[in-house]
Structure formats: C-alpha cells, structure tokens
Chains A and B, each alone.
Chain A
Amino acid sequence: MSDPELGDVFGPSGDGDDPELVQLLTPEGERREHPDYAADLDDEAIAGLYRDLVLTRRIDTEATALQRQGELGIWASLLGQEAAQIGSGRAMLPQDFAFPTYREHGVAWCRGVDPLYLLGLFRGVDQGGWDPRETGFGLYTIVIGAQTLHATGYAMGLQRDGVVGSGDESRDAGVIAYFGDGATSQGDVNEAFIWASVFNAPVVFFCQNNQWAISEPIERQTRIPLYQRALGFGFPGVRVDGNDVLACYAVTQAALRRAREGSGPTFVEAYTYRMGAHTTSDDPTRYRLNDELDRWKAKDPIARVKAYLHTTTAADDQFFEGVEQEADELATHVREGCLGMPDPHVLDIFDQVYAEQTPELAEQKEQYAAYLSSFEGAH
C-alpha cells in the first residue's frame, strides 16, 4: 500500500518552473509576466503590501512569544503564509466578505480587525470579539471546513439582494472562503463546491495548500493537484504561488471580479508552506524533515518583496526603517493589550446563549450568582 511516485503529479514546489503555477514575482524579487494575470499595482502599492506582510509577521511572532510565556492558551502561526493572506485580503473590496479558518491573521489585518481580538480568542477570553458585519470578516471557524458552506450561503444571499452582476462596481460583492489542504477532504467542503457550482454563487474558494494538515502530508488528502478538482465540480481552478503576494493579489482579484459580475465560483490553490508548527501545541520534528523547511525558506514571501523594492530602488532605507519601527509599535500594542485584557465574568455566559433569554437559564444564572456570593468574604 505504498504511495506511487507523486512528484510528477504534484509538480515542482512553487519554484516558478511549473507552467500551471501563476507567479509574478520570483523568490529573487524579479517581476514576471503572465498571459492571464497582472497585478495592477504601482511601486507605492507594492511597498504597502510589504508593510502589511511585515506587520502581520510581527503580530504572529509576538503572539507566539506570548503563548510561550503562558499568556495565550495556544496560537496557530501563519508563518510562511503571509503572502497568500495579504495578497488575497488586499484584493477584497469593502463590500466583500471573508470566511476564515483559525489561521487567517493576515486577512484579519486587511479587514481592519484589531489583532487583539484574535489574541482574545487564543487567550480564552472569548470566542471571537470582532464584529463580522462591520469588518466583512467572519468568526474564526475551528471545525474544519464548516465555513465553506457558510460562505456559499452568504454568497447566495448576495445574489438574492441584487448585488451580484448588477454592473454597479461600488455595490457588487463577492465572498472568499478560506480553508486548508486538509479541509478539502471534508464532506462539508465538497458540498460547498457543489452548492456554489449549481447556484453559480459568487464565492472564491481560497485554499492555502501549506502541504500539511498537522502531521499528515498533502499526499494523504489527494492524488491530483487540488486546483484540478475544481473542474470536476464545474468551475475553474487555478494554482498560484502562495508565497508571491503579487500573484495572490492578481489571481484573487480576478476571481473576485468573476464572482461579483455573476460568473460564479473559482477555486484558488495558493501553493505555500507552513513554516512553523501546526500550533504552539505541536511538535513537527516528529513527522517532517528539516531540509524541506530549508527549501521553503529560500522562497520566503517577504524577502522577495524586499529584494524587489531594493533593487528597483522603489523604496529606500528610510522606508524599511519606518516599517520596522511601526512593527515594534504594533508588537507593543499586541503585548500590552494582551496583558491588560480583562478576564470575562462567568455570569455573563448565561446572557449570550439565546436571543430571547429563557426563564430556566435566567434562574440558573441567579442560583449560581447566589452560590458564588456565598463564598464572598470566606477567604
């Protein structure tokens, strides 16, 4: 029952020689042309993406450190996936909506969600404190794949509201469903593909293929490149260099435009790599080799943008220093905000369960409050 040679099937791992892989910026920082995709971004906008990438990584580094110091219960690092998230997140318009997993800290950043909300969830203060409607960014979803159906239903709602294919670019909206390579095995995800296809829903299925689902390599989930599955469901699939922020931006923008204009779903496979552990609870030395990590280090999503900005002199030292300083300030905000986060009160959980409180639960709350107050002054 050994695996067949899968190298041919999977193609090279994102080094730009794969004709199927959309790449607009090489790991060395050189721009590339693609017949179908171009990033309509000037150097200033690219510098903006660089800033997003650096700040997002800094949030991640700080959160990981806070977890190590016992301030968070757990943290799911996005290290290595910044370009996939910033590229796709910045391709969204304000009226679009994203349905994330638990790792989309970069997309959250693009949607203007204060990182402290993300930390609150991983600290155990709440289960997602931001306002999904205000930010266009759904709650983190830990049950693998469930959000892909929510995204599809939301997209069906947009269709009914007349904000798909109306021709009014300021109103027409689309949806992005984020999920991982492992998630593609779930029934929910496959059902979402069918729904979206049959109803021509304006949804982009954005799969970050980071090569791993905890300890299981991608070969455990598929025997064909993931993006090729889309064809079987009846919509286009495209594989993009997930470490190339320009390509991720361009491909997602095209897919979202397609969605907004009423042409239906697209599957985007962002070919990337989980550089860190699955979460801070995980120990990847048990199941993967370091040389794989080293190969991907050479494709770092931030280094190539920096190289581009440097060699083209699109940005100077002052710019890079400014971004570093901003990152330091953001790290301070994250750290101090985390340490200063008030703990929730147990009695509040009773009020959150129903839109219309039940007498039973109200009584339970009262009884528990009385019980708790019986301890007051005891020690």
Chain B
Amino acid sequence: MAQITMAKALTNGLRAAMEADPTVLIMGEDVGKLGGVFRVTDGLQKDFGEERVIDTPLAESGILGTAVGLAMRGYRPVCEIQFDGFVYPAYDQIVSQVAKLHFRSQGKLPMPIVVRIPFGGGIGAVEHHSESPEAQFAHTAGLKVVAVANPVDAYWMIQQAVASDDPVVFFEPKRRYWEKAELDESVEPVPLHSSRVVREGNDVTVLTYGPMVKTALEAAIAASEEGRSLEVIDLRTLSPLDMGPVAASVRKTGHVVVVHEAVVNLGMGAEIAARISESCFYSLEAPVLRVGGFDTPYPPSRVEEEYLPDLDRVLDAVDRSLAF
C-alpha cells in the first residue's frame, strides 16, 4: 500500500468530500492555482472549477462572513486560513456569527462551515506563523474543534468535518504535513468526536493532540527503554472532549500528563485536568501535570526548539508524576 503525506491525505479527503456533495466549496487566499501555501488544495480548482474553489480577496473577515451567507444558501464552505496567526481578523465572524447563528435562529440556520487552520510551530517561521490558538475556539460555545495528528485521520476527519452540520474548526499541525503513513480506505473510520489510545501502557497516561502526538509516542518509546510504560491518547476532538477513553486510562495508570504546544495558562490542559479531577479523583495518584508552551508570545524561531515541548520535557513530567 502506498504511503501518503498528511497534506496529500487532506487533499484527497477534500476531493472526496467535493465529489460526494456538490454544495461543498473551498474558499481562501491562494487556494486556487497555487493550491494553498501548503499545497493542501493542490489541483482542486483545476478539477472542480473556480466556482467551487475560490481564491478570495485578501480579507479573513470577508472569507468567514461570506461563508455564513453561503451556508444560509445551503452551501458547505471549507475556509482555509493561511496561518494560525491570521485567523484573528475573522475571529469576530467566527465567534459572534458562525458560532451563534444556530442558537439564535433556534436551529433554522445551521452553519456547516469548516475553518481549516494550519497551526503550531517548529518550522522556523517568522512571527504569527507558529501559534496554537485552539483553546480560544474550544472556549466558544457553538463551535466544534478538532486537531489531526496523522495522515489517516486527516483523510477521514476532514470528510467528517465537512459532513458535519455544525461549524468545525479544523487544526492541522503544519510541521507534520509531510509525515507519511499508509492509508487503507477500506478501513472504516472512527467517529469524528472520539479520542483514541494510540499506544497502550500502564504507568502514566499521556494526553495530547495534533503535532505533539508524535512527540508523545517518541517519549513513550524512550520511556519503555527505562522500563516505564506510557499510554498515549490522541484526543483528536477538543470540543466536545471525549472523556471516555481518558477516564478508562486514568483509572488504570493513576498518573496523567497533558501535552500541547499552546501556552499552559488556560490551555486545553486546564480543562482536561479539571475534568479528570472531577471524574477520576480517587484514581489519581498524582496531580495532573501539564507540559506546554510558556506564557510568552511565540518566540523567534532560533529559540523555538527550546520553547516547544519536546521528548525530554514530556519525560521530565512523567518522572515528576511518578515521583509524587
């Protein structure tokens, strides 16, 4: 079976979604001829035409605002935001309009919009190109938020997100775009809003998503060489959270480390730690520990490797948890 990159898996997933449903539109800056700066929409305008793959004027509020109107006409816009740091001009439309129209209209105006955001650091970029704003969207009622970690999930989750009648903010870890995996399309995908154990273990549960899944898996391999068994869960869905697999794991290990690139302060780890302490209090043998970005703006790229959580910082937290 052929290996496929995450970028290509997303392209194929979008292609399948567009073939399955003629109301699916792609909108964004440079998504047409260029195929997006990460080439995720490569070839789609050629095959589906300029009516369905729309190079928009350079205005993110415009992209999301017009997506609302198109959604009201029964279309399913898939909006590409070029980089994480450029979603903010659209923030008002996403938070005040996209997220609330179903509620305000008592369900008469569903918003089947997908907002694709390449996110996270590690690519040596200049400022505004390496941010992790997922918690800001997970904090907004009315939005669903997911993050993909591998090509197989990318292929299925983008199709599931497009098919969703709710707005989905879809985070793609840009530094993993070129990672490869085998994609067997005959294997049925799990539901969009489900978390998954990606490596079984008994000593410590590591909860993570997006770019950090790979880091956590590498940490688990390193830990196993020291006789420690880490269970790694790819959360995949950030809103709603899927606490079932998390709780099952915590009851087994009693030790939890949450890992994300986003700043720790009020990040996803904060909500997850609170939920675990509410539902698994008596299983815990140590406080839930968080490994994430420091509470600073994303730094210049020459220090990003030291800023980003890495294998050592995950293992350090594992040690601290077990030593508690």
- Which chain A residues border B33 with CB–CB below 8 Å? 215, 286-287
| A220 adjacent to B57 (CB under 8 Å) | yes
| B57 adjacent to A185 (CB under 8 Å) | yes
- Which chain B residues border A186 with CB–CB below 8 Å? 58-59, 89
A280 to B127, CA, bound (A): 16
**Dominant SS among interface residues on chain B:** loop
Contact check: which of A102, A124, A215, A349 meets B296 at CB < 8 Å? A349
The closest CB in chain B to the CB of A358 belongs to B295
Judge whether A368 is part of the interface by a CB distance below 8 angstroms.
yes
| A353 adjacent to B296 (CB under 8 Å) | yes
Known: A183-B58, A187-B59. A214 touches B37 (CB 8 A): yes
Write the B30-60 contact mask toward A (1 if CB under 8 angstroms, else 0).
1011110100000000000011000111110
Judge whether B62 is part of the interface by a CB distance below 8 angstroms.
yes
The closest CB in chain A to the CB of B85 belongs to A143
- Which chain B residues border A375 with CB–CB below 8 Å? 312
| A187 adjacent to B89 (CB under 8 Å) | yes
- Which chain A residues border B302 with CB–CB below 8 Å? 123-125, 343-344
| B294 adjacent to A220 (CB under 8 Å) | no
Q: What's the least CB distance linking A2 to chain B, in Å?
A: 8
A361 to B263, CA, bound (A): 12
Write the B11-34 contact mask toward A (1 if CB under 8 angstroms, else 0).
000000000000000000110111
Known: A185-B57, A343-B302. A360 touches B295 (CB 8 A): yes
Give residues of chain B (61-110) contacting chain A, Cβ–Cβ below 8 Å: 61-62, 85-86, 88-89
Write the B290-319 contact mask toward A (1 if CB under 8 angstroms, else 0).
000011110111111011000011001000
Q: What's the least CB distance linking A84 to chain B, in Å?
A: 19
Judge whether B124 is part of the interface by a CB distance below 8 angstroms.
yes
- Which chain A residues border B34 with CB–CB below 8 Å? 214-215, 286-287
Give residues of chain A (172-225) contacting chain B, Cβ–Cβ below 8 Å: 182-183, 185-188, 213-216, 220-221
Identify the interface centre among B29, B33, B55, B300: most chain A CB within 10 Å of its CB: B300
The closest CB in chain A to the CB of B42 belongs to A286
A124 to B299, CA, bound (A): 9
Q: What's the least CB distance linking A303 to chain B, in Å?
A: 30
| B57 adjacent to A361 (CB under 8 Å) | no
Known: A122-B126, A124-B301, A143-B85. A213 touches B307 (CB 8 A): no
A345 to B299, CA, bound (A): 10
| A73 adjacent to B301 (CB under 8 Å) | yes
A122 to B59, CA, bound (A): 24
The closest CB in chain A to the CB of B57 belongs to A185
- Which chain B residues border A185 with CB–CB below 8 Å? 57-59, 62
- A residues adjacent to B (C-beta < 8 A): 1, 73-74, 102, 121-127, 142-144, 182-183, 185-188, 213-216, 220-221, 281-282, 286-287, 343-346, 349-350, 352-353, 360-361, 364, 368, 371-372, 375
A-B contact pairs, 30 of them (CB 8 A): A73-B126, A124-B124, A124-B301, A126-B300, A127-B127, A142-B128, A142-B129, A143-B85, A143-B89, A143-B128, A185-B58, A186-B58, A187-B61, A188-B89, A214-B34, A214-B37, A215-B34, A216-B29, A216-B30, A216-B55, A216-B58, A220-B57, A286-B35, A343-B303, A346-B306, A349-B294, A353-B295, A353-B297, A361-B296, A364-B294
- B residues adjacent to A (C-beta < 8 A): 29-30, 32-35, 37, 50-51, 55-59, 61-62, 85-86, 88-89, 124-129, 294-297, 299-304, 306-307, 312-313, 316
Query: With contacts A73-B125, A186-B89, A349-B297 known, what are 14 further pairs, Cβ within 8 A?
Result: A73-B126, A121-B126, A127-B127, A144-B86, A182-B58, A188-B89, A214-B37, A215-B32, A287-B34, A349-B294, A360-B295, A364-B294, A372-B306, A375-B312
